[in-house]
Structure 1
Amino acid sequence: MHHCLERLIAAGLSLALLASAVAQAAPVPANPATDVTRAANQAVLGKLPFADRQDFADAERGFIARPDTLTIKDANGKVVWDLESYKRFIADDKPAPDTVNPSLWRNAQLNVQYGLYKVTDRIYQVRGYDVSNITFIQGDTGWIVFDPLLSEETARAAMDLVNQHLGKKPVVAVLYSHSHADHFGGVRGILDEADVKSGKVRIIAPAGFSEHAISENVIAGNAMSRRAVYMYGAMLPRSAEGSVNAGLGQTISQGSIGLIEPTDLIDRTGQELTVDGVKLEFQMTPGTEAPSEMNTYLPQFKALWMAENTVNTLHNLYTLRGAQVRDALGWAKFIGEAMDRYGARSDVKFQSHHWPVWGEARIADYLTKQRAVYKFIHDQSVRMMNQGLTGEEIAEAIKLPPELERNWPTRGYYGTLKHNAKAVYQRYMGWYDGNPANLDKLPPEPAAKKYVEYMGGSAEVLKKARADFAKGEYRWVAEAAKQVVFAEPGNVDAKNLMADAFEQMGYQAESGPWRSVYLQGAFELRNGVPKAGGLATASPDIVRAMTPEMLFDYLAVRLNGERAAGKKLVLNFNFTDLGKQYAVTVENAVLTYAPKASDQADVGLTLRKDTLTDIQLGKATLEQKVASGELKFDGRQPAFGEFMGLLDKFDFWFDIVTP
C-alpha cells in the first residue's frame, strides 16, 4: 500500500518540454519532393517579396560577438542545445531545398543567427541560445534580466557570453514577461535563489503568474505533451527532409527547468517601478498570448518591450498541442493600446523572440499590421460565421489582404491563418457546426469501416487514392487513406500512402509546427508509435510550487468514473508545515475536496508538504518516510490503497494517426 503515494504525481504532470527521443529501429527513409510539391514551393518565390532583406539587416544589427559553434551541454555531458545541427544545412547563402517551403526556409535562415547583440543604449540581447531571447538591461550597479530562457544551462551560457564581452556584473532583478516556461525556466542559470530570499535580487512578474505557470499543463498535461511531440517535431531528424525550425525559433532546449517565485507582482497598466536606476512602466495584457502577460516600456531608453504579444510571425490563437483558445479581439486591442501609449515615444521595439525593429515610423507600421492581422482574422471569421459558414468553410475561404499577405512579420510561421480562423469559430460557437448530421457522429473506427464498405473496399479506395496522389491531391488522399487505416489498422499499404501524403504536405507547409505535425505523423505511420523518449516530467521547482489544491484537482481528472461508481471514500490530509487540513472525498464517481478535516474519514495522512514533494521527486520512498516518522497514517490504512486503485495512470505514447 505504501508505494501508492509515490504515484500521486506520476504520469502526466509535465511541461510541454521535449526530451530527446530515439526510434526503436532505423527509421524508414524519407521520400523526395514530388513534382507537385516542387512546383508549389517554387510558386512561393513569386508570391512574396524575397528581395526585401530588411529582416536580415535587423537580425544582425548591433552584433557584438558569438562563439564559433554553439552546442550547450549539461553537467552530465548531455547536449541540451545544438544549434550546429541546424547550421550544418541552413545557411544564408543557400536556396530553399525542394522539400522546404521557401518562406519557412527564410524564417529558419533568420532564426539561426545567434550571439550577443546591442539593442540600444544599455539594452542587450542574446539570441539563438534557445527558442526565446534573453535580454540584459544595464542598471546602475548590475543587470536587469528579461525572460531568462527555458533551461538553466542555456541561460548560464548566455550569461557567460555577456560576462565575457560586457564585463561581469551581478543580476539585480529578473522580469518574467509571462507564464510560459521558455520565459522563466532558466532563471537558476543566472542567479542564486538565496539572493532572492535575502532581498538582494527582485523578481518581477504579472499578477497571476505563479498560478498559470504551474497549472497550465497539469490538468490536460499528458495529452498536451504527447501532441507537443508532433508540434515541435521532437523525433524528426534535423535535415531538409525533417525538422527545419519551430517558427518562433529553431526548437526548444532540453535542459533543467527552474522556477523562483516572484517578489513583485504587477497588477495594473501604468504601474511603474524603478529598479537599479531604470524606470519600468507596465502594460497588462492578460488573455493574449498567455493568461498572465505584460508589456514593459523603458522611457529612459525609448524602448518598448512587447513580451510575446508581437513577434515576427503570426502567432497562435489556438496552439496545435492543444490549449484554450485565445482572444483575438482582446489581443488586437492590447496591441492598439501599446501603440497609443508608447508608439510615438519608442525608438526601438523588441520582444522575447526574434529580432527588434528600430525607428518610430517602422515601429508604427509594424504594430499597426500586427494589430490588424488579429483583428482581421477575428472580424472576418465572425462575419462569415454569421453568414452560416462553419469553421472549416471559413478557414478555406478567408484570405488576407495584400498588405498583410506580403508582410513578413504577419506570415504564418507559427500560427496560421487557417487554424486561427477555426479558433475564432471555436471560441464563439464550440465544436458543433449546427448540422444535425454532425451532432452525434460515429467515432472514427466504426465510421471508417462503413466508409470503406461504401467505397467498395480498401483495395478500391487505395487504387483511387494513388491516382489522386499522382495528381497532387494530398489533402484528399490523407482523408481517404485515413478511412482505410482506421478500418484496417494492419493495412501497411494504407499507412504508407497516408504517410506519403502527409510528407508532401509537410514539405509544402510554411508553418514550422504544421511541417512538424505532418512529418511526425508520417514517421509514426511508417515506424510505429515510439516507446522511448518523450517529455521530461515536471521539474523539482514546479512540483515544489504546486499547492495541495492543484494536486487534488489533478487527482480528480485521473479518477476512473467506472471504477469509482458506487464507492465512497474519505481521506484526510494534514500538512503540518502549512497548518492546513483537507478532506478528499470520492462519491458519486467524482473527487472533491474541502479545506478542513472530516470526522468521517476512512484514513488520515499527516505529513509536511515537502515530505510529499520528496516522494514525488524520487528523493525518498514512502516506506522511508513512514519509517522516519515523517509520514503517519491513522484510521483504516487499506482505504488509501483502495483510493489509489481508482486512479488511472496515463500512457504517454497513445495513438494519434492510428486507432
Structure 2
Amino acid sequence: MRHLCLLLTAALLGGCGDEAATTTPLRSPEGLHAHSELFEREVIEVTEGVHVAVGFGLANSIMIEGDDGLIIIDTLESVEGAGKVLRAFRAISDKPVAAIIYTHNHTDHVFGAAAFAEGRDIPVYAHDSTAYYINRVINVVQPIITTRSMRMFGNHLEEDGLVNAGIGKALLLTPDHTLNALPPTHTFADRMHVSIAGVELELVHAPGETNDQIMVWYPAKRVLFSGDNIYETFPNLYTIRGTPHRDVLQWANSLDQMRALHAEHLVPSHTRPVSGADTITALLTDYRDAIRFVHDQTVRYMNHGLTPDDIIQRVTLPPHLAGHPWLQEYYGTVAWSVRSIFDGYLGWFDGNPAHLQPLPLAQKAAAMADLAGGAQALLERAVAAQENGEAQWALELTDYLLVVLPDDQRVTDLRAAALRTLGEAESNPNARHYYLTMAEELRDGLVPGFRMKTPPAFLASLPIENYMHTMPILLKAEETLEVDAHIGFRFTDTGKAFTLAIRRGVASVSEGETEGATATLVAPEQVWKEVAAGERNFLVTVAGSDMGVEGSRTGLLRFLSYFERR
C-alpha cells in the first residue's frame, strides 16, 4: 500500500507524487505488543469439567461438561470461528451440545451459535431483552455500527496496523464469514435456576457493559462466568463505535454481586481466567472501585459546573488503580468514560452557552481561514503543526481546511498524515485503529464495512415485525413532504398483514390492511426478509413469481422508491 506523504513541505509545493511513495511499516507501542500475550490461542482447563477457548476470536467461548451433554457459554462472532472452537472442544469431549447460554447480545458472543447446534434444535438461554438488542443492531443501526466497528476493530488494517483489539486478538469477520445467531428460547428478567445435563447453574441479570448482560454462577465448583463486566483492561464504559448508554453505577453494582459470591474461579468472556478466591475478590474490588471513582468524581465536578473538557483534566485514577494490570487503557479510557457519564446525566449540552447554537462548520471554517490570513495561510499553519509534532492540532485544523479547500490533495494528505501519526503513537487499540483506518479511507478511498453472509435459516428465525417496523427509518423524507399515501403487505405463509403509510415526510407501520391502499404486496415472509436484508434484489423479485402485487404495480414501485435500500 502506498505510504502517506509525510514530506509536508513538498505537499505544499504540489502534492505527493509516486517518487514519495514508500511502504514504511506502521509503528506501534511496545506495551500493545506485550498485551497480545493474553490472546495466545489455547483451550484452558479452569477446573474439572470447565474449559475456556481463548484466542479463537474476539471473545472467549466456554464449555461446561455435564453428565450427558455440554453447555456452551458464548459462541464467537461467526459460524466459521465457532466451528474451530467446537473442533477443539471435541478433542476433550464428544458429548452433544445440550444448551447454549448468551451472556449478552454483542456480535462476538452470539453469531457463531449455529455451529454448536450442529443442525439440531437446542435450548438457548439469555436475558429477556437480548433478542431486542440483537434486532436493534441488525435492523436499526446496522449500517453505521458496521462502519464504526470496522474502524474501531481495525478490520481493514494489515498486520502492522492491527496488533490486537484490546480484549481479543481481533474481530475475525470478513465477507466470507457467516452470521447465524440462534434466537433465545429460554429467557428471564432477574434470575433463573437451570439444570442442564446434570449441571446446576444460576443465571443472574448483571447489567454493565450491556443492559442485557448476565453472569453465570456454577455453585458446585464455585466458578463465576462474568461475561463482559470484567476483562484485563480498563472497561469500555463508553465505546467509540457507539452503543446505548452504559449505566456505570449498575456496572459497579453488578461487580459487587460478583464479589459477594467469593468465587474460586473467574472466567471472563474476554482475556484469561483467574483462580484463587482472595485474588478474585481483590481483583473485582479494584475493578469496581475504578468504575466508581470515575463515576463519582465526574459527578462531583459536574455539580461544580465544569464541562466534560474541564473534567477530563481533573479525573485520573489514583496510583494504586492507575498502575493495576487489569486497568490499563487497552480498551476503554478514563476520558471517554467521563464524557459518557456526563452525557448520561445531562445530555449533549455541556453548559457553555457558546455551544447552544454553534456556527455551521462552513461559516466557522471561513472565519478560521480569515483569522489565519487566508486559506493558504491556514494550510501552512496546519503543515507546521504536523512538522512540529502537534498532530492533534494539525488534525483539528484540517476539519476547517476540508471545507475551505475541498479539492486540494495537500489537505487530504496532511489529514491522513496527522491521523497516521496519532495512530502510531496510540496504545489504545480502539483509538489506534480508528485513526489508522480513517487515514486509509482518505488515501485509498476505502469504504469501511462489508456485508457478511446471512443464512436463510437465520432470517427465518427473526420475526417479520422486526423488518416491518424498521421501514420508517429508511424514508427519504425530503422527497415525500407532499406525499400522503399507503400500501399494504400480506404474507401468504403466516396470514400476517401490515399497512405502511407516508404522511408528508413521516412513515408509519400498523398491523392489518387499510382500505384505499395504492397497492398491496403479497409474498411469503421469507421473501420479504431476504429483500429487506439485501440478500435479494427487489426489482428482480417483484418481477418474478415469488412476489405478487395487487393494485397499481407502478404506484407500489413509486411508493417504495421513497425508501432507502440496504
Same fold (TM over 0.5): yes
**Corresponding residue of 2:81:** 154
Aligned counterpart for 1:244 among listed residues 151, 163, 167: 163
Distance change >3 Å, CA 258–CA 225, structure 1 → 2: same
| Percent of residue pairs bearing the same amino acid type | 26
How do residues 365-444 of structure 1 correspond to structure 2 at under 5 angstroms? 365-444=282-361
Q: Work out whether 1:278 is the aligned partner of 2:215.
A: no
Give a deviation string over 1:312-370, Cα, whole Å, max 9, x none: 11222222122222111111111112222x1x2x1110121110111111101111111
Give a deviation string over 1:245-282, Cα, whole Å, max 9, x none: 1111121112211122222113223x211111111012
State the alpha-carbon separation in 2 of the partners of residues 462 and 331 from structure 1. Answer: 45
Aligned counterpart for 1:582 among listed residues 493, 498, 503: 498
**Corresponding residue of 1:173:** 99
Q: CA deviation at 1:591?
A: 0.7
State the alpha-carbon separation in 1 of the partners of residues 6 and 323 from structure 2. Answer: 31
Q: CA deviation at 1:547?
A: 2.8
8 Å CA contact 2:235, 2:332 repeated in 1: yes
Distance change >3 Å, CA 184–CA 480, structure 1 → 2: same
For residue 125 of structure 2, give the secondary structure of its aligned residue in structure 1: strand
**Corresponding residue of 1:544:** 460
Aligned counterpart for 1:191 among listed residues 111, 114, 117: 117
**Corresponding residue of 2:141:** 220
Aligned counterpart for 1:309 among listed residues 197, 204, 229: 229
Give a deviation string over 1:554-612, Cα, whole Å, max 9, x none: 22111111111111111111223333221111113111111122122221123221232
**Corresponding residue of 1:109:** 37
8 Å CA contact 1:571, 1:585 repeated in 2: yes
Q: Work out whether 1:475 is the aligned partner of 2:392.
A: yes
Q: How many equivalent pairs are there?
A: 545
Q: CA deviation at 1:543?
A: 3.3
**Paired residue type of 2:2:** P
**Corresponding residue of 1:42:** none
**Paired residue type of 2:519:** V
8 Å CA contact 1:446, 1:487 repeated in 2: no
8 Å CA contact 1:214, 1:542 repeated in 2: no
8 Å CA contact 2:146, 2:449 repeated in 1: no
Q: Work out whether 1:639 is the aligned partner of 2:555.
A: yes
State the alpha-carbon separation in 1 of the partners of residues 563 and 82 from structure 2. Answer: 38
Q: CA deviation at 1:186?
A: 1.0
**Corresponding residue of 1:354:** 271
Distance change >3 Å, CA 545–CA 31, structure 1 → 2: farther
**Corresponding residue of 1:85:** none
State the alpha-carbon separation in 1 of the partners of residues 109 and 6 from structure 2. Answer: 37
**Corresponding residue of 1:4:** none
For residue 499 of structure 2, give the secondary structure of its aligned residue in structure 1: strand
8 Å CA contact 2:147, 2:448 repeated in 1: no
State the alpha-carbon separation in 1 of the partners of residues 29 and 278 from structure 2. Answer: 31
**Corresponding residue of 2:185:** 263
8 Å CA contact 1:404, 1:410 repeated in 2: yes
Give a deviation string over 1:32-54, Cα, whole Å, max 9, x none: 9xxxxxxxxxxxxxxxxxxxxxx
For residue 300 of structure 1, give the secondary structure of its aligned residue in structure 2: coil
**Corresponding residue of 2:374:** 457
State the alpha-carbon separation in 2 of the partners of residues 311 and 635 from structure 1. Answer: 57
**Corresponding residue of 2:252:** 332
**Paired residue type of 1:257:** L
8 Å CA contact 1:248, 1:354 repeated in 2: yes
**Paired residue type of 2:432:** R
Distance change >3 Å, CA 615–CA 556, structure 1 → 2: closer
State the alpha-carbon separation in 2 of the partners of residues 220 and 609 from structure 1. Answer: 22
Q: CA deviation at 1:417?
A: 0.9
Distance change >3 Å, CA 213–CA 624, structure 1 → 2: closer
Give a deviation string over 1:596-646, Cα, whole Å, max 9, x none: 221222211232212323445646876667754x53322233221121121
TM-score of the two chains, using structure 1 as the length reference: 0.78
**Corresponding residue of 2:405:** 488
How do residues 10-29 of structure 1 correspond to structure 2 at under 5 angstroms? 26-28=1-3
8 Å CA contact 2:500, 2:509 repeated in 1: yes
Q: CA deviation at 1:168?
A: 2.0
State the alpha-carbon separation in 2 of the partners of residues 116 and 609 from structure 1. Answer: 41
Distance change >3 Å, CA 263–CA 546, structure 1 → 2: closer
Q: CA deviation at 1:29?
A: 5.3
Give a deviation string over 1:190-243, Cα, whole Å, max 9, x none: 2234x21xxxx322111122221122343222222222232112222211xx12
Q: CA deviation at 1:531?
A: 4.8
TM-score of the two chains, using structure 2 as the length reference: 0.90
Distance change >3 Å, CA 377–CA 578, structure 1 → 2: farther
State the alpha-carbon separation in 2 of the partners of residues 148 and 480 from structure 1. Answer: 44
**Corresponding residue of 1:565:** 481
Superposition RMSD on alpha carbons, in Å? 2.4
State the alpha-carbon separation in 1 of the partners of residues 539 and 467 from structure 2. Answer: 17
Distance change >3 Å, CA 621–CA 551, structure 1 → 2: closer
8 Å CA contact 2:295, 2:341 repeated in 1: yes
Give a deviation string over 1:161-189, Cα, whole Å, max 9, x none: 2223x142211111111111211111122
How do residues 1-80 of structure 1 correspond to structure 2 at under 5 angstroms? 26-28=1-3
State the alpha-carbon separation in 1 of the partners of residues 142 and 529 from structure 2. Answer: 19
Distance change >3 Å, CA 626–CA 534, structure 1 → 2: closer
Distance change >3 Å, CA 374–CA 423, structure 1 → 2: same
**Corresponding residue of 2:280:** 363
Range that drifts further, 325-334 or 469-478: 469-478
Range that drifts further, 356-365 or 595-604: 595-604
Distance change >3 Å, CA 178–CA 30, structure 1 → 2: farther
